[in-house]
Amino acid sequence: MRDDFMNLGLFILPAGHHLSAWRLPEQTAEATDFEHIARIARTAEAAKLDALFLADVDGSWGSRWETMARDPGTMFLEPLTLLSALAAITSRIGLIGSASTTYNEPYHLARKFASLDHISHGRAAWNIVTSFMPHNAANFGIERYPDHEERYRAADEYMSVVKGLWDSWGDGAVVRDKVTGQYLDLGKLKILDHKGPYFTSKGPLTMPRSPQGHPVLVQAGSSEDGREFASSHAEVIFTVQSVIEEAKSFYADMARRIEAKGRPPGSVKIMPGAFVVVGSTYDEAFERFERMQAFVEPEAGLAQLQNYGFAIDIEAHGWDAPFPELPETQGQQGRREIVMAMARREKLTVRQLCRRIAVTRGHHFIIGDGRQVADALEQWFVERAADGFNLMLPSFPDSLDSFVEHVLPELRRRKLFRSEYEGRTLRDHLGLARPALREPALARAE
């Protein structure tokens, strides 16, 4: 991947990122239709996008069923199952799935993502989340939901275990010598035998080192704990930023932290979400957006805010009062700061912020024709606010078709995005190095 090309991932929500897009007569209302999702994946690969991105939570997105009953995002497929199926019908595009360090054992996820990397021939990536919705702990028999800081402490140890398991076997450990009968070279075996405050895992992983060495590591936290974690472990950072000044500040801060950890420049790609509405003209894009906006109810945005840990008593405060200062949360702290800053900066009422959050969830919002959208993406890219973007399109498949038709040719004309894939793995697309195998202590299987 050339440094002068931006990275573009596609964040798939089958019914679209606009909460009400599914209500338009021409739009799909089916969130679990594999053929619909496969069509999206094939279009994205034909457009030479870097990767598909699937978010996930281990249970329901919210805790208020009366609101969730109006949201197609309430229903969603398990990402690793879906990505494995998509791996079989694609050949080049990256496959990024979210999975929680709070609700999975390290061995489970090490094995699953290494398997996906083998199945896809080196296109797998793990979006590391610590889970921010306390109500889902009940799905796993967890009575005390760990606080924000503790979740990140545990996640840091978790990553040491997973990386160690991925390095169970050195490159070339599978010899398959039919003459001697030797299948494995035990001199390239490392028994992890990890015992820590949060996790115990002996190892080894029961498969060869994966095609990328390790699947690409993605992380989406923007809090202080999230930034420190990302500077140690992430290779791609998916962040929530709504204005360029804050995005540039985040980019510069992460560059300093990454350098302080001894990691080389360019070893981490920063890709904020971009909610993009595009048409052949600005008026066409605006008209389409307004059609979707007509269905938005402020209660939907209020539910989103409550999911993120904002406790708002609407009966006491009222819809049309200024958005209040709220106490800290054990949920998404980075997003809380961004949302609060947006409300203060634009002097938004509760109603106005709820309508905005229901649509963009705090991400960068771009609307226009192909040139205008390309202008906005280029500005963030050249001014070092982003290395690329995780595209959050309002509806599928039409919004993706419009982006491909109107924006990509403009980016290619400016020599800002590829016309063809230059490599086969996700690391190739992103310009990321294959991780070196950590020198194992000599070990033998018992």
185-214 pLDDT tens trace: 999 999 999 999 999 999 999 999 999 999
| Residues 6 or more apart whose Cβ sits within 8 Å of residue 47 | 404, 408
Task: Calculate the average pLDDT of the chain.
Answer: 88
- Cα angle 383, 385, 388; round to 5: 105
Residue 61 confidence class, pLDDT cut points 50, 70, 90: low
Q: Provide the strand spans (E) within 103-158.
A: 124-129
8 Å CB contact between 137 and 147:
no
DSSP string, 265-301: TTSSEE--EEEEEEESSHHHHHHHHHHHHTT--HHHH
Report the number of secondary-structure helices (H) and strands (E) in the chain: 16, 14
Alpha-carbon distances of 381 from 7, 12, 106, 430, rounded to whole Å: 10, 22, 35, 15
Q: How many CA atoms lie within 13 A of 20 on its CB side?
A: 20
Phi, psi of 417 (to 5 degrees): -150, 150
8 Å CB contact between 113 and 218:
no
78-92, 141-155, 219-233, 304-318, range with the lowest pLDDT? 304-318
Pairing of strands 194-195, 200-201: antiparallel
8 Å CB contact between 17 and 275:
yes
21-47 pLDDT tens trace: 888 888 877 888 999 999 999 999 999
CA atoms of 227 and 232, how far apart (whole Å)? 9
Residue 68 confidence class, pLDDT cut points 50, 70, 90: low
Please state, for a pLDDT cut of 70, what percent of the chain lies above it: 87
8 Å CB contact between 61 and 31:
no
Q: How many CA atoms lie within 13 A of 302 on its CB side?
A: 18
391-434 pLDDT tens trace: 999 999 999 999 999 999 999 999 999 999 999 999 999 999 99
8 Å CB contact between 10 and 370:
no
- How is the chain split into domains, by residue range? 7-168+192-430
| Residues 6 or more apart whose Cβ sits within 8 Å of residue 108 | none
Flag whether pLDDT at 145 surpasses 80: no
CATH of 7-168+192-430 among 2.60.40.3880, 3.20.20.30, 1.10.230.10, 3.40.50.970? 3.20.20.30
CA atoms of 150 and 61, how far apart (whole Å)? 22
Phi, psi of 167 (to 5 degrees): -100, 20
8 Å CB contact between 239 and 364:
no
Tokens 């590591």 belong to 217
Q: Which residues of 47-84 are buried (b: 16+ CB within 10 A; e: fewer)?
A: bbbbbbbbbbbbbbbbeeeebbeebbbeebbebbebbb
